[in-house]
Every structure is written in structure tokens, then in C-alpha cells.
């Protein structure tokens, strides 16, 4: 059975709920505590590829780091925004669940059922 990777923030209720769904389904889970381990440009690009989305879709627009750094500016390049996710991992949308070359954002947590 292929394992599933979850980019998890234990303080987030949606992330905890998504993890519980995976555990309840007896899924082999790799938990990435990205706020502790950090993110790299390579990781973010692989998330974008799995989710088939632009970098902006990975960003939590309500976070102070997003607002304070004016990341809503449409003139900012994708590479710059990826760098901001590396610098401010708190703005990564969560949880993100990856299985092979597919991914979903666990909002709502039941989204994970699409790939398990």
C-alpha cells in the first residue's frame, strides 16, 4: 500500500480532523510537521504539481505575514511567492495531503477521501 503524506499543523482543527480520517481508514501516513521542519522551494513546487494549482492557492490570505508583506499584489512573481512560503511557512494552506502524484487540501477534511 502506498503511503500518504500529510503536511500537518497539530494546532489546526482541520488538520487534526484530516489526520483522524486517515488514521480511521488504516492508511500508512507520513506526517510532515512543516512548521518545525520548514519548507523548501522544491517541496512547494512538488505540492503545486500534485495539487495542480498556482502558488497563490497554497497561501492562507488571512495570516498576518501574508497581509504585512502585501502578498496579494498580483505583480509579485511565482518565484517570489514561493520564497515567501519558505520564509513564512505559517501561510501554507493546511492540511495538504499527497498520495503519489495527487494531492488535496483538507478543507473540508473529507476532501482527503478523494485520494485514499
Q: What pLDDT is attached to residue 48?
A: 98
How far is Cα 5 from Cα 89, in angstroms, rounded to an integer? 17
Q: What is 4-114's CATH topology?
A: Glutaredoxin (3.40.30)
Residue-wise pLDDT for 54-107, tens only, equals: 999 999 999 999 999 999 999 999 999 999 999 999 999 999 999 999 999 999
Question: Grid coordinates representing 45?
Answer: 513546487
Q: Enumerate the active-site residues.
A: 12
Amino acid at each position: 500500500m502506498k503511503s500518504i503524506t500529510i503536511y500537518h499543523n497539530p494546532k489546526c482543527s482541520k488538520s487534526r480532523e484530516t489526520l483522524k480520517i486517515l488514521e480511521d481508514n488504516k492508511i500508512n501516513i507520513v506526517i510532515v510537521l512543516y512548521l518545525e521542519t520548514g519548507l523548501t522551494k522544491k517541496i512547494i513546487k512538488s505540492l503545486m504539481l500534485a495539487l495542480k494549482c498556482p502558488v497563490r492557492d497554497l497561501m492562507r490570505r488571512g495570516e498576518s505575514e501574508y497581509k504585512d508583506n502585501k502578498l496579494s499584489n498580483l505583480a509579485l512573481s511565482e518565484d517570489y511567492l514561493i520564497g515567501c512560503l519558505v520564509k513564512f511557512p505559517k501561510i501554507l494552506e493546511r492540511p495538504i495531503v499527497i498520495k503519489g502524484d495527487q494531492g488535496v487540501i483538507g478543507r473540508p477534511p473529507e476532501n482527503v477521501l478523494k485520494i485514499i
